[in-house]
Amino acid sequence: MANLFIQSAYRNLDTKGRLLLPPEYRDALLAAGDGSFWLTIGLYGGLKAYMPADWEAIVEKLNSVPLPSMKLSHVKTKLLGLAQRMVPDAQGRIRIPQPLMRAAALGKDVVLVGMADKFEIWDQARFDALLVEDVSDEVAACHLDIAL
């Protein structure tokens, strides 16, 4: 799959919880399908946006576990129970539902973060805190052969 979402964009939520998607994101969504995507809670903070085919694969994998543990059931409750299909309006905005806004602790200032085949939406203060964290140990532990 092509790298659809790479860059980040700083945005403001309006009083109705609407978020203007970057034009590059809208174009990528339309190029890959009908412009819709699935939005759910991220397990480590923020929200995650998935292309429809990728979301279907996630749901299938979660449902294929024969006897899920209590922890996996909790993960399913969070991921599937809060998931919403998003369709941008004519201006390229989405309205983030209140349960997702609360779960991700989103304030007025947010950041959309491209993650290649998906993107994330973070509260700006929480995202800025992530930027100063040292991740060199995690990169080394993953044996990534990339120059950072």
Return the CATH number at 23.
3.40.1550.20
The position carrying tokens 């203060």 is: 125
- Residue 148 belongs to a domain: no
Say whether pLDDT at 3 is over 70.
Answer: no
Question: Considering its fold, how many domains does the chain have in total?
Answer: 1
Average model confidence (pLDDT) across the chain: 91
Q: What pLDDT score was predicted for residue 125?
A: 96
Q: Round to whole Å and give the CA distance between 66 and 114.
A: 33
- Residue 2 belongs to a domain: no
- Residue 36 belongs to a domain: yes
Please report, to the nearest 10 degrees, the dihedral formed by the alpha carbons of residues 147, 4, 90, 58 taken in order.
-110
**Inter-axis angle of helices 52-64 and 70-82, nearest 10:** 150
What is the edge-to-edge ordering of all strands in the sheet holding 109-114?
8-12, 109-114, 118-123, 47-50, 37-41, 84-86
Average pLDDT over residues 17-26: 96
Which band of pLDDT confidence, cut at 50, 70 and 90, is reported for residue 4?
Answer: confident
Query: 5 with 25: CB under 8 angstroms?
Result: yes
pTM across the whole model? 0.88
Average pLDDT over residues 33-60: 95
- Residue 147 belongs to a domain: no
- Residue 24 belongs to a domain: yes
Q: What pLDDT score was predicted for residue 2?
A: 62
| Domain that includes residue 69, residue range | 8-142
Average pLDDT over residues 7-21: 96
| Long-range Cβ contact pairs of 70-75 (< 8 A, separation 24 or more) | 75/43
- Residue 96 belongs to a domain: yes
Q: What pLDDT score was predicted for residue 72?
A: 87
Q: What pLDDT score was predicted for residue 10?
A: 98
Q: What pLDDT score was predicted for residue 133?
A: 76
Q: What tens digit of pLDDT does each residue of 112-142 get?
A: 999 999 999 999 999 999 888 776 677 667 7
Q: What pLDDT score was predicted for residue 68?
A: 75
- Residue 65 belongs to a domain: yes
- Residue 120 belongs to a domain: yes
Which band of pLDDT confidence, cut at 50, 70 and 90, is reported for residue 85?
Answer: very high
